[in-house]
């Protein structure tokens, strides 16, 4: 299974390969150096997308940028959806992309020993909330919450869904039934979790 060549490979799968080959000390290497090492050791040409996905996963593990900066949140979410992005341009996310990316983010941060020993699929109610129970740090900045809130509003949400309970929706939102939208996002999130866990299991074979 050539994970580095598979552009549908989850970022966690790529990160797993990097850690197994080079250790966590590779997190401190310049992106170009890590890319060159991978290409040389595995005799491949690593695509920009794959290289960027690796760096996105490392960024999530080593910084708070995903939680603090809407620009980083946007770019990392795109990469976790296997979408190459222009880092100099604003490219608004879709709600479905956020749901998928949160599954990647959740597994990278929360599942104990996820790289070597993936656990069973976590329950949706374990998604972190503003009380900060699961992901550390768990609090998104106001700018990320507002960014996500606008996207969820455009998607049709009339309140912050359980998947991102601290989202700040625009003012003047008319109250309504959020059930259908919530369920759709939860299904996307759970399907992504299942895909990632299955992919990691396949890597063991």
- The backbone region for 156, taken as left when phi is positive above 0, alpha when psi lies in -120 to 50, beta otherwise, is left
Can you tell me the distance from the alpha carbon of 165 to that of 180, in angstroms, rounded to the nearest whole number?
16
What is the average per-residue pLDDT within 52-69? 94
Structure tokens at 145: 């919450």
Higher pLDDT, 134 or 9: 9
Return the closest-CA partner of residue 158 out of 176, 181, 171, 184.
176
Q: What predicted TM-score, i.e. pTM, was given to this entire model?
A: 0.86
Percent of the chain exceeding pLDDT 70 equals 85
Band of pLDDT at residue 205, cut at 50, 70 and 90: confident
Locate the domains of the chain by residue range.
Answer: 3-204
Q: What is the pLDDT of residues 88-130, one digit of tens each?
A: 889 999 999 999 999 999 998 864 344 444 444 444 444 444 3
Residue 14 · residue 54 · CB < 8 Å: yes
């Amino acid at each position: 299974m050539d994970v580095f060549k598979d552009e549908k490979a989850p970022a966690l799968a790529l990160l797993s390969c990097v850690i197994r080959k080079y250790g966590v000390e590779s997190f401190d290497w310049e992106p170009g150096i890590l890319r060159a090492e991978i290409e040389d050791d595995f005799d491949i040409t690593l695509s920009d997308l794959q290289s960027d996905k690796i760096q996105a996963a490392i960024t999530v593990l080593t910084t708070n940028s995903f939680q603090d900066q809407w620009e980083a949140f946007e770019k990392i979410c795109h990469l976790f959806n296997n979408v190459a992005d222009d880092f100099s341009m604003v490219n608004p996310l879709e709600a479905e992309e956020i749901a998928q990316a949160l599954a990647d983010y959740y597994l990278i941060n929360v599942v104990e020993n996820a790289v070597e020993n993936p656990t069973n699929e976590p329950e949706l109610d374990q998604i972190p909330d503003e009380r900060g129970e699961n992901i550390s740090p768990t609090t998104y900045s106001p700018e990320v919450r507002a960014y996500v809130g606008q996207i969820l509003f455009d998607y049709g949400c009339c309140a912050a869904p359980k998947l991102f309970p601290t989202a700040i929706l625009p003012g003047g939102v008319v109250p309504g039934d959020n059930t259908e939208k919530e369920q759709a996002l939860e299904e996307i999130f759970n399907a992504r979790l299942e895909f990632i866990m299955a992919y990691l299991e396949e890597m063991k074979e």
